[in-house]
Amino acid sequence: MDKIIVEGGSRLSGRVRVNGAKNAALPIQCAALLGDTPTTLRHVPLLSDVHTMNSLLVGLGCAVSGERSLTIDPRKVGEGPLEASYELVKTMRASVTVMGPLLARYGRARISLPGGCAIGARPIDQHLRGLEALGAEIALSHGYVDVSAKRLRGATFVFDLVTVGGTQNVMMAAALARGGSRLENVASEPEVQELALVLNKMGARIHGAGTSVIEIEGVDTLSGIDHAILPDRIEAGTFMVAAAITGGDVLLEHAPVDHMHAVITKMEEAGVIFEVEPEGLRVRGPARLRPVDVTTKPHPGFPTDMQAQMMVLATLADGQSLITETIFENRFMHVPELCRLGADIQVHGNAAVVRGRATYTGTTVMATDLRASASLILAGLVAQGRTEIRRVYHLDRGYEAIEARLAPLGAKIERIHGAAS
Ligand code: UD1
């Protein structure tokens, strides 16, 4: 298993280009299943989650070629099983996002139930209830859910809670349903907006993405398209924290500023300096960081996927911050590892009290999930001495070659391939 070694203490400076967004790429890969012709995606990030989704699509009968420019040809889907196995769903929960497209386009799907995962129970009840409202029959057995319908019919459905994947799944199904649908209390994340844009390019009639109500006029067929994936706001946010905590000066090319107001506002509150320049967003770290209270919320609130990274920033501030996680239970698994590196963080339920002015000293730490891994890299950047981060496969799910992106900025970081864990 690979590990990453960081020698802390370098100030980051220079420029880095933000890659395509993982959370936009994954549902759009699934959307390719809805088309009658191939879809080509550009600016695709080279991530293990994207590869996992490709494997799932190949298993369903798609021909998949390319990497950064990825072509997905769904014309042979339906000749074999329409199944997302436990092996795939357990490694990547976003696998369940093939359910809506398969059901709408091919009339059935068999998907493993995700079960619990490292950051909480993460059920898919809202996905299933939404599809049921569109007329799907749902049967649960042996840990799998079978969904089927001859032709879905449009309906009004109100989500009990805001779910990104649920909104995407039901929106894709409704795009090919007979008649109109109205989805209420939907997620408004940029990646939901991007998926609606893609579906409309394919021939769908979807309005309201980005608000809390989406209206969809079902169509009979959709066709493949050519589309460039939008930049990753979480990757951009992670680089911003890296620049901020090292007192750095980094220009982020392709930063999706319009989708990052909550993160930028909070970081400004902490004293970080931002300037929008013609070539990107310049981020400069202040001499002293101020404490900030952060509560994670659905978009446009502060994203849960930036909580761990923001916590590292808070540990270095001049005072006490309160970080509250409202989206996922059990999403503080980075805390014990950050504390081993020198942070002072007390968790009380879904709130973490962070006492600032941490002096980090490097040691060996274990990545536990994707964003937790990012927080360990960040702490390593400011730690005295050498931090060794193990289980970096978590990191590779969502950050493309992070060491090769940070090193040109001045970070002393390297990957050791195939090391024993
Ligand atoms: C997506 C993102 C993930 C991000 C999350 C929240 C992708 C591939 N992943 O995950 O990076 O952290 O949004 O912004 O885009 N829930 C239910 N029932 C359901 C569905 C969800 O109770 O049927 C709960 C979940 O357990 C969680 C909350 O709703 O507590 C939000 O989950 P959701 O928005 O669905 O997250 P994902 O789509 O899985």
Give the residues across from 302 on adjacent strands.
296
Classify burial at 9, counting beta carbons within 10 Å of its beta carbon; exposed 0-12, middle 13-18, buried 19 or more: middle
- In terms of domains, do 15 and 156 share one? no
Q: Are 187 and 279 contained in the same domain?
A: no
306 and 270 within one domain: yes
Structure tokens belonging to residue 231: 């930049």
Residue of 122, 138, 232 to test ligand 1 pocket, by largest number of atoms within 8 Å of CB? 122
Residue 301: CB within 6 Å of ligand 1?
no
Residue 152 DSSP one-character state = -
Beta bridge partners of 62: none
Q: How far is CA 248 from the centre of its chain?
A: 26
* Helix (H/G/I), strand (E/B), else coil: 54: helix
The domain boundary residue, chosen from 208, 228, 248: 228
**Of the residues 185, 206, 228, the one at which a domain ends:** 228
The pLDDT value recorded for residue 121 is 61
Beta-ladder partners of 165: none
Residue range(s) defining the domain that contains residue 163: 22-228
Query: What pLDDT score was predicted for residue 1?
Result: 85
- The reply to whether 99 falls in a domain is yes
Number of domains in the chain: 2
- Rounded Cα distance between 210 and 194, Å, is 9
Give domain status of residue 271, yes or no: yes
Q: Which residue shows structure tokens 């990052």?
A: 260
Distance CA 204, CA 222 (A): 7
Gap from CA of 272 to ligand 1 centroid (Å): 29
223 and 240 in a single domain? The answer is no
pLDDT value at position 90? Answer: 87
Query: Vertex 211, ends 206 and 215: CA angle to 5°?
Result: 30
CA of 182 to the centre of ligand 1 (A): 20
Q: Is 297 in the pocket of ligand 1 (CB under 6 A)?
A: no
Q: What are the structure tokens assigned to 243, written together?
A: 């620049």
pLDDT in tens, the chain (421 residues): 899 999 999 999 999 999 999 999 999 999 999 999 999 999 999 999 999 999 999 999 999 999 999 999 999 998 989 999 998 888 888 999 999 999 999 999 999 988 655 555 678 999 999 999 999 999 999 989 999 999 999 999 999 999 999 999 999 999 999 999 999 999 999 999 999 999 999 999 999 999 999 999 999 999 999 999 999 999 999 999 999 999 999 999 999 999 999 999 999 999 999 999 999 999 999 999 999 999 999 999 999 999 999 999 999 999 999 999 999 988 999 999 999 999 999 999 999 999 999 999 999 999 888 999 999 999 999 999 999 999 999 999 999 999 999 999 999 999 999 866 5
Spell out the SS3 assignment of 207-273: ECECECEEEEECCCCECCCEEECCECHHHHHHHHHHHHHCCCEEEEECCCHHHCHHHHHHHHHCCCE
Ligand 1 centroid – CA 292 distance (Å): 25
User: Is residue 116 in contact with ligand 1, taking CB distance under 6 Å?
Assistant: no
Cα distances (angstroms) measured from residue 15 to each of 12, 63, 253, 409: 9, 36, 7, 7
For residue 234, give the ligand 1 atom closest to its CA.
11
Q: Do 296 and 219 fall into the same domain?
A: no
Q: Element (H or E) spanning 127, and its range?
A: helix 125-133
209 CA distance to ligand 1 middle (Å):
17
> What pLDDT does residue 329 have?
86
163 belongs to a structural domain: yes
CATH number of the domain bearing residue 109: 3.65.10.10
Task: Tell me whether residue 32 is in a domain.
Answer: yes
Instruction: Look at residues 228, 253, 287 and tell me which one is the last residue of a structural domain.
Output: 228
Please count the residues of the chain.
421
The DSSP string of 385-419 is SEEEEE-THHHHTTSTTHHHHHGGGT-EEEEETT-
Does the pTM exceed 0.95? yes
Whose Cα sits closest to atom 33 in ligand 1?
163
Asked whether residue 302 falls in the same domain as residue 184, the answer is no
Q: Ligand 1 test: best mutation among 327, 350, 369, most atoms within 8 Å of CB?
A: 327
The residues annotated as belonging to the active site are: 117
List 20's β-bridge partners, or say none. 231
- Hey, which residues does 407 pair with through a beta bridge? none
Distance 97 CA to ligand 1 centre (A): 11
Ligand 1 site-directed mutation target among 163, 306, 327, 330, most atoms within 8 Å of CB: 163
Ligand 1: atom nearest CA of 327 is 30
Does ligand 1 have an atom closer than 6 angstroms to the CB of 125? Answer: yes
Nearest-angstrom CA–CA distance, 378 and 355: 17
